[in-house]
Amino acid sequence: MTYFRVDYKNAKKFCEESFIRVGFSEEESQIISDVILLSDLYGIESHGLQRLKMYQDNIKSGLVKVDKKADVVFETPVSGVLDANFSIGHLASHQGMSLAIKKAKTTGVGIVTVRNSNHFGIAGYYSKLACDEGFLGLAFTNSEALMVPTFGILPMLGSNPIACAMPADPYDFFFDASTTVVTRGKLEVYKKLGKPLPKGWAIDQDGNISSDASEIIDNIKEGRGGGILPLGGDNENLGGHKGYGYGVLTEIFSSIISLGMTSNQCLKGDVDGCCHGFIAIDPNIFGDSKLIKDHLSNFLQELRDSPKAQGQDRIYTHGEKEIIAMKDRLDNGIRINEKTMNELYDLASNLNIDIRAYFKERLE
Amino acid sequence: MTYFRVDYKNAKKFCEESFIRVGFSEEESQIISDVILLSDLYGIESHGLQRLKMYQDNIKSGLVKVDKKADVVFETPVSGVLDANFSIGHLASHQGMSLAIKKAKTTGVGIVTVRNSNHFGIAGYYSKLACDEGFLGLAFTNSEALMVPTFGILPMLGSNPIACAMPADPYDFFFDASTTVVTRGKLEVYKKLGKPLPKGWAIDQDGNISSDASEIIDNIKEGRGGGILPLGGDNENLGGHKGYGYGVLTEIFSSIISLGMTSNQCLKGDVDGCCHGFIAIDPNIFGDSKLIKDHLSNFLQELRDSPKAQGQDRIYTHGEKEIIAMKDRLDNGIRINEKTMNELYDLASNLNIDIRAYFKERLE
């Protein structure tokens, strides 16, 4: 697969323009694009511009309602519930975590949950919002069902990521992981690349391990059975029931406490309806946040410095690879594969955007 | 391996007596024994009476200080930090979660972290304390290092479980899982049973997958390298970096925010020093807790009712197996294997307890 490099700022401006063209304000388009482009900056190709066509398709089909906004429907000094009214997930989630942060600034803790939403991009973006304020941030989301529970054959849970970010030097701790072995986005990338899936990622409708990304994605869409495995695999021997349990934990903080749609109900009719959860915690409620930050920084350094396994020369802490990728992308441009590039050209043409005014892509 | 059955109440009384004999009050001994025996009731053999010898050995050696109590060293309306002063983990943790629950009753949320502690039994016991009050409960603990980070060879993190419990009908959601593939307690049971470990649980000091429980346990104790793998395995392909990340998340809520010892520092000198974290959240801060409970109950029922994989006739939700085990144990007695039984007889003899006054064990 051929890859191109595109200047980050120009790519972001193009992304913003695409949202302005379909009715979002300039400020809204900036927030949405900030979420999408952070993913590309961090080297998480699956959730970056690779998804722009999907977002725009969902706006066109009416799944994502441009004219709707999220409302706060319940609130206490430490909590909030938002109804996103099927508006775009990125904005409802930005509002949700911002509210959690606001509450944490007053009480020390904010827990906000969002129902009736749509895809929100990478969970880590929202935990990072809290981290950038000096807080411990957590973000959760469910999604259309694609994870099969242990001993099950029908997807009942989403990829259900848990993201956590906390200030540290020289790299913040930034952990963003689906509770499945891999995300659907990763399957989409394998499909685009025409590569077979590694064993242990997904099962087909008969429950057999499958390496066919197209088949798995189609089966999930059509509800034919089969799906992505929970972290830990297809039985209890290596802990598949643990990934499944973390998946339920994510439902609790997203769909359950918001009284929203659980993953198995999402995207079943003419709405998505997925739900999110956001937690911001001020470390000062446990003492001196400066000492706490130093303590975390030291531990992460000890992890990186610890002895390496044979054939390995580096132990990463979470967030380190993202910083490395970001430096590269800021210097050399974000990476866009050929298929995604074609989608972006088509999209620009449909939206009457002169993509050449933004992109001066070069082959990698 | 031969198994015996012992009446639950009598086993608990024996356990209590063993703690009274070494200086704990009746009430304290009841709490400690309640934690230990819940594990046996729930069928989690690894953390039940199987561990009594270890606890008593740690008291004898002075690692666990009977004459010390936990102090609250920092507090806000939503948070608390306890210094356990190297007292027994069960009591410091019971105090910690009780404080979190008390705060949640006032503000809606309580987050309490405990430093300078010792082993506290099953994490799930403490999340259950919150659940029994109608709350969402979370419990975390680090431990002596036994998990190798992804691409590492030296254990740097503990088994670092995350437990979550939330009210539901007919079974509460009760999820208690180490962020490693398996716990050290499970290795101890395999060692006692003389059984080889399944592939994918642990690596030896050369980084090779090992099936020798004794070797792994000794290597961890002696710091020779090798240890238990994070959930997801020994590389990133199946998500080993995710188990490792959840392990760091557990450190954050236990050792980091409490400014306590991270797992790689625990049990290095003449103290253990492990740390815990407890969160209690009142669902009423998100609306009507009755509706939230119903919503969770329905989802868990949908999971159990969903189509089964070939050869499987049941999908469990977390906490269901524990309820099934508890019914069996209350009717037929808790299960104790031959080696543990011998340890209990030796212990009784050393403490001048007439074990025959408590145990009328029968072969299973």
ipTM value, please give it.
Answer: 0.97
Average pLDDT value for chain B: 96
Contact assignment for B295 to A259 by CB distance below 8 Å: yes
Between CA B57 and CA B218 the distance in angstroms is 17
Span A286-306, average pLDDT: 98
Mean pLDDT over residues A38-53, rounded? 95
Q: In whole angstroms, give the CA distance from residue B304 to residue A71.
A: 34
Structural tokens at position A14 = 């193009």
8 Å CB contact of A239 and B181: yes
The answer, yes or no, to whether residue B361 has pLDDT greater than 90, is: no
Q: How confident is the model at residue B185 (pLDDT cuts 50, 70, 90)?
A: confident
For A308, the closest of B152, B179, B309 (CB atoms) is B152
Min CA distance, B47 vs chain A (Å)?
18
Mean pLDDT, range B149-157, rounded to an integer: 97
**Mean pLDDT, rounded, for A151-168:** 97
Tokens describing residue B185: 């307690």
B147 shares its domain with B254: yes
At residue B360, the pLDDT reads: 87
Query: Is B327 a domain residue?
Result: no
Domain shared by B124 and B265, yes or no: yes
> Is B113 in the same domain as B151?
yes
Say whether pLDDT at A173 is over 90: yes
Of A107, A175, A239, which has the smallest distance from its Cβ to B248's Cβ?
Answer: A175
CATH code of B159's domain? 3.30.1370.60
- Looking at the structure, tell me whether residues B158 and B99 fall in a common domain: yes
End-to-end CA distance of chain B: give it in Å, rounded. Answer: 11
Contact A114, A70 (CB under 8 A): yes
Same structural domain, A305 and A204? no
Q: Do B200 and A237 touch (CB under 8 A)?
A: yes
Averaged pLDDT, A77-84: 98
In a domain, B208, yes or no: yes
Mean pLDDT calculated for residue range B55-82:
98
Q: With respect to residue B233, please indicate whether it lies within any of the assigned structural domains.
A: no
DSSP bridge partners of B173 = B166
Is B325 inside a domain boundary?
no
State the best of B295, B305, B316 to mutate against chain A, taking most chain A CBs within 10 Å: B295
Section B252-271 average pLDDT? 97
Q: With beta carbons less than 8 A apart as the criterion, state whether A14 and A36 touch.
A: no
Q: What are the b/e assignments for A262-281, b being 16+ CB within 10 Å?
A: bbbbbbeeebbbbbbbbbbb
Indicate whether A13 and A136 sit together in one domain: no
Flag whether B34 is in a domain. yes
Model confidence band, residue B328 (pLDDT cutoffs 50, 70, 90): very high
Q: What is the count of structural domains for chain A?
A: 3
| CA nearest to A59, candidates A23, A95, A30, A32 | A23
**CB proximity list for B121: less than 8 A, separation 6 or greater:** B35, B36, B38, B39, B47, B51, B89, B90, B93
Quick one: A249 and A106 in the same domain?
A: yes
Residues A279 and A201 in one domain: no
Closest CA to A148 of B29, B68, B230, B303: B303
Domain that holds residue B172: 65-180+238-318
Q: How many CA atoms lie within 13 A of B311 on its CB side?
A: 6
Task: Give the mutation candidate from A74, A127, A151, A275 for the B interface (greatest B CB count, under 10 A).
Answer: A151
Find the length of chain A.
Answer: 364
Cα separation of B165 and B303, whole Å?
A: 17
Could you tell me whether strands B79-83 and B227-228 are parallel, antiparallel, or unpaired per DSSP bridges? unpaired
Residues A210 and A339 in one domain: no
Is B223 part of a structural domain of the chain?
Answer: yes
CA distance A70 to A77: 19
pLDDT, tens only, A321-359: 999 999 999 999 999 999 999 999 999 999 999 999 998
Q: Give residue A232's region: left, alpha or beta (phi > 0; psi -120 to 50).
A: left
Question: What rounded mean pLDDT belongs to chain A?
Answer: 96
pLDDT value of position B214: 95
Same domain, A112 and A252: yes
Euclidean distance between CA atoms B29 and B19, whole angstroms: 5
Cβ–Cβ gap A306/B258 under 8 Å: no
For the packed helices B8-21 and B52-60, what is the interaxial angle rounded to 10 degrees? 10
Min Cα distance B57 → chain A (Å) is 30
Interface A:B, Cβ pairs < 8 A: 250
Residue of A nearest to B300 (CA): A248
Has residue A189 got a pLDDT over 90? no
Please tell me the predicted confidence (pLDDT) of residue B227.
96
A355: domain CATH number is 1.10.1530.10
Of B74, B287, B307, the CB nearest to A74: B287
Query: Does some domain include residue B323?
Result: no
Q: Is the pLDDT of residue B188 over 90?
A: no
> Quick check: is B199 in a domain?
yes
B82 and B56 fall within a common domain: no
Q: Report the chain A residue with the minimal C-alpha distance to residue B305.
A: A152
Residue A281 predicted with pLDDT over 90: yes
- Segment B162-178 mean pLDDT: 98
Residue A315 has pLDDT above 90, yes or no: yes
A256 contacts on B by Cβ (under 8 Å): 166, 292, 295-296, 299
Same domain, B140 and B78: yes
- A77-86, A257-266, A267-276, B188-197 — which is least confidently predicted? B188-197
Q: Which of A228, A259, A288 is the last residue of a domain?
A: A228
* Residue in chain A nearest B76 by alpha carbon: A285
Q: Which residues of A touch B151 (CB under 8 A)?
A: 308-309, 312, 314-316
Would you call B177 and A245 a contact, using CB atoms and an 8 Å cutoff?
A: yes
The pTM of the whole model exceeds 0.95: yes
Across the interface, of B77, B149, B162, the residue whose CB is closest to A306 is B149
Taking contacts as CB-CB distances below 8 angstroms, the residues of chain B near A137 are none
CATH number, domain containing residue A193 = 3.30.60.50
